[in-house]
Homo-oligomer: A and B are copies of this chain.
């Protein structure tokens, strides 16, 4: 029963799974489905779960004191998303962008699944490195450059995202992104 979920674990483990492992994985996760634009969790909620996306697209975002939203992370099929700060209450919102199906799992159960801690370390380190790269981009590049990077690195994602979610991810207004795009279009 080669599911997208078990494949994900095989990639993390770096080997094939035993029948028992497969069963235990599928047992630990709970399937949940959400319609488009549905909230999975909110700022202030208890934060003990992680979400593995099997279908659809989600976004993790914050709302600043002025009520403005900033997207921090997207996740599509085959990717994990959640607030790594478990078990501290989250300061994020998680919401579906498309109609989605996710497998949710409690933080401690996820830990139990991965007896080889070095794999967990490697996984978190990868998230850290990804975030660090984004941090540096936001710090040192213009919105136009960041948009170009996004297109070349994640063209499929860009196609699926409404434009105002992209601008929020880049940290600029939708008006300004629209200007960037108009300028780009003129150039070619």
Contact = CB atoms under 8 A, between A and B. Distances in A.
A70 interface: yes
A113 to B, nearest CB: 14
Interface in A46-68: 62, 64, 68
Given A140-B64, A140-B70, A140-B171, A121 B132 contact: no
Interface in A126-149: 127-129, 131-132, 134-136, 138-141
Given A121-B117, A171-B140, A129 B62 contact: no
Interface string A11-42: 00000000000000000000000000000000
Given A128-B84, A140-B64, A72 B117 contact: no
A70 B128 contact: no
A182 interface: no
A185 interface: no
Q: How many copies of the chain does the oligomer comprise?
A: 2
Interface residues on A, range: 20 to 34
A72 B140 CA distance: 11
A132 B72 contact: yes
Interface string A104-121: 000000010000011011
A120 B111 CA distance: 13
B131 A135 contact: yes
Given A117-B120, A124-B125, A127-B128, A139 B171 contact: yes
A18 to B, nearest CB: 22
Interface in A81-107: 84-85
19 contacts: A62-B140, A64-B141, A68-B140, A70-B136, A70-B140, A72-B132, A72-B135, A84-B128, A111-B118, A117-B117, A117-B118, A120-B121, A121-B121, A124-B124, A124-B128, A127-B128, A128-B131, A131-B132, A138-B171
